[in-house]
Amino acid sequence: MDKHLKQASEKPRQTRRSLPMALLRARESVMKNFRPMLEKHNVTEQQWRVIRVVAEAGALDATEVASRASILAPSLTRIIKTLEQRKLIKRQNDSKDGRRVVLALAPAGEVLLHKAVPESLAAHKGLEEKIGGDKLMLLLDLLDEVALRAGN
Amino acid sequence: MDKHLKQASEKPRQTRRSLPMALLRARESVMKNFRPMLEKHNVTEQQWRVIRVVAEAGALDATEVASRASILAPSLTRIIKTLEQRKLIKRQNDSKDGRRVVLALAPAGEVLLHKAVPESLAAHKGLEEKIGGDKLMLLLDLLDEVALRAGN
DNA sequence: ACCATTCAATTAACATGTTAATTAAATCTG
DNA sequence: CAGATTTAATTAACATGTTAATTGAATGGT
């Protein structure tokens, strides 16, 4: 029985033309450009996202942080715990709603932010040069559209 | 001096226009289309990738599987362990190289594959309809290019 | 053949992804 | 107002991501 013929006729879709795999590989390559900066400041990718989202908003409840940083609630709970222990963020209680946890940057978090942001921007600039500004823009638009349409 | 430009250079980049975040969100949305099928067959996303890669090749050593499925070696070691316990794959020893582990589908793995592949293809077809065939193709090309150029 | 080096796989340790279950506070409804 | 329902956050349990260290098997040079 010829395995090659069988493969050609009823083989599963090639993994290379699979959208999930393509997204995964692209993200993997892209993140290589940010890892040195993250490691230098001793934060994980997800911790950095939380810090940035909180910084952008000034103060934000956990649910909104999770949504904007694309992190699930259980993960965020653990991330908050470690970031609070490291005094990078602080948690407050919402006066209106006793269930909510409101997050804001702590002083050490502000310091880290100001040190790391330029390096993050530089990494993104580097990507823009490698990929090309127009292609990058096009890709961002396509990704947003896919996120909307595929998200059901 | 334009205050918008000045502000833009000193504030963190908006998370919405960040390529890593865009890739993450897009992937998240895309995966929603596959999760029901994965859950139905009781495999994780990564287990499914391993099964498909092994099936595509017939038999493959672990390093190649890791590379093609975009899974790191330590993760693959654990995945192999569980897939072997569930008798979905089998491991053989490379006669030439005593270090290598060669993987192939076990009978139960073949059964699972043939049941799940049509559903996986259907999910991908559904995506193609939601996004549009040309855009999907364009996106796949862009992602491949980014994976190449950004990857160092 | 010997030793150092390289390489494949595994293990270890910690962080996150993912779904289900739980707890406490808010809200709805009769 | 009381009871049922919803909601935000947490906890639990298991799987994977990630880096460093380890083990055993090839390889290279001498």
Mean pLDDT computed over A50-75: 97
Q: Do A21 and B49 touch (CB under 8 A)?
A: yes
Assess B67–A contact: CB distance below 8 Å, yes or no: no
**Number of Cβ atoms within 10 Å of the Cβ of A74:** 9
pLDDT of residue A4: 39
- Chain D positions within 7 A of any protein Cβ atom are 7-13, 15-20, 24-27
Mean per-residue pLDDT for A88-100? 95
pLDDT of residue A17: 81
**pLDDT at residue A97 greater than cutoff 60:** yes
pLDDT of residue A16: 65
Contact B52 A20 (CB under 8 A): no
What ipTM describes this predicted complex? Answer: 0.89
- Compute the residue count for chain A: 152
pTM value? 0.90
Q: How confident is the model at residue A8 (pLDDT cuts 50, 70, 90)?
A: very low
**Local confidence pLDDT in tens for the 152 residues of chain B:** 444 444 444 455 566 689 999 999 999 999 999 999 999 999 999 999 999 999 999 999 999 999 999 999 999 999 999 999 999 999 999 999 999 999 999 999 999 999 999 999 999 999 999 999 999 999 999 999 999 999 86
pLDDT for A151 equals 84
Determine the Cα–Cα distance for residues B125 and B25; give it in Å rounded to an integer: 20
Tell me the mean pLDDT in the region A101-121: 97
Question: Residues A49-67: what's their mean pLDDT?
Answer: 97
C-alpha to C-alpha distances, A27 to A23, A93, A146, B26, B150, nearest whole angstrom: 6, 36, 15, 11, 9
- Say which of A27, A142, A148 has its CB closest to residue B20: A27
How far apart (Å, rounded) are the C-alpha atoms in residues B92 and B102? 5
Rounded mean pLDDT, A68-91: 97
* DSSP secondary structure of B120-152: HHHHHHHHHHHH-HHHHHHHHHHHHHHHHHH--
Q: How many residues does chain B have?
A: 152
What's the confidence (pLDDT) of residue A95?
92
* Residues of B 49-108 whose CB lies less than 7 Å from any atom of strand D: 71-75, 78-79, 82, 96-99
pLDDT (0 to 100) of residue B11: 53
E-strand ranges in chain A read 59-61, 89-93, 101-105
Q: Which residue is nearest to nucleotide C27 (CA to C1')?
A: A97
**pLDDT given for residue A40 in this prediction:** 95
